[in-house]
Amino acid sequence: MVPYPPLLVPALTVRADAETERLRGACLRAVSSLTDSAAEWVGVGVDQSGPAMLGPNTAGTFDGFGVDVRVTLGGTVASRPDPLLPLPALITGWLREQAGARVATVHLLAPDTPTDECQRLGATLAAKDVGLLVLADGTNRSDARSPFPPDARARTLDERIRTALADAGLAGLRALEPELSAELGVAGRAALQVLPGVVAASGGTWRGELLYSATPFGVTYHVAIWTRTT
């Protein structure tokens, strides 16, 4: 599980920053671990264009964020890169290239996707022999640097997400409330709620490892790895 801010891409940052490097390093560690398990990925994110599925032949560019950094999901690309490709797909493509995964498919969910629908998608994905990359940011209302006025509930919600990711806690993710998550800027809530569906359908015992959790620039970012151990 990774966030998807454009600042993960070095070419899009003006200067080196220790906290950015720490976040980027955690994300690269997570996706390197994912590639160790599976050369084919399925990414799950949230976008207003959802529901939609983007196949491996998809290509895009970060030109809209200031630099023409081009990425693909790994297939044969015959057309020009899509300048409007949603950010979760762009970051999936960039991380895929960094980690050396062969191909990726991206599912984009609508922001208001109901919890039970998210879990049904998770159950479907559990039957596939792929690595799952979940893309979601934390809250964007936790402190004075946040892009929206601070809300006292944001830190509590981030702590709930942090604990669930660290402990592979299914109940904590299932309990995320769509309306509250939207109010506090957790746009990837639906993507997070795919995880309980995957685990429930897969069975076995799962271990969570939290690699990063902080609010460096007013938005909270969490990076974690979930691994089935038995």
**Kind of pairing between the strands at 70-72 and 206-214:** unpaired
Judged by DSSP in three states, 214 sits in strand
Distant-in-sequence, close-in-space partners of 177: CB < 8 Å, separation ≥ 6: none
Q: What is the dihedral of CA 190, 184, 173, 33, to 10 degrees?
A: 80
Over its length of 230 residues, how does the chain's per-residue pLDDT go in tens digits?
999 999 999 999 877 789 999 999 999 999 999 999 999 999 999 999 999 999 999 999 999 999 999 999 998 876 689 999 999 999 999 999 999 999 999 999 999 999 999 999 999 999 998 999 999 999 999 999 999 999 999 999 999 999 999 999 999 999 999 999 999 999 899 999 999 999 999 999 999 999 999 999 999 999 999 999 98
**What is the pLDDT, as a whole number, of residue 13?**
87
As a whole number of angstroms, the distance between CA 94 and CA 71 comes to 6
Token reading at 183: 């109010």
**What is the pLDDT, as a whole number, of residue 77?**
76
Q: Which residues pair with 134 in a beta bridge?
A: 44
Is the domain spanning 6-228 CATH 3.40.830.10? The answer is: yes
Which residue type is seen at 170?
A: L
As a whole number of angstroms, the distance between CA 224 and CA 158 comes to 14
Which residue type is seen at 131?
A: G
**What is the pLDDT, as a whole number, of residue 120?**
96
Pair 81, 89: CB distance under 8 Å = no
**Secondary structure letter of residue 79 according to DSSP:** S
CA 173 vs. chain centroid, Å, equals 14
Burial call 184-206: b when 16+ CB within 10 Å, e when fewer: bbbbbbbbbbbbbbbbeeeeeeb
**What is the pLDDT, as a whole number, of residue 78?**
64
Token reading at 170: 């299914």
**What is the pLDDT, as a whole number, of residue 187?**
87
**What is the pLDDT, as a whole number, of residue 89?**
98
Q: How far is the CA of 37 from the CAs of 24, 30, 213, in angstroms?
A: 20, 11, 23
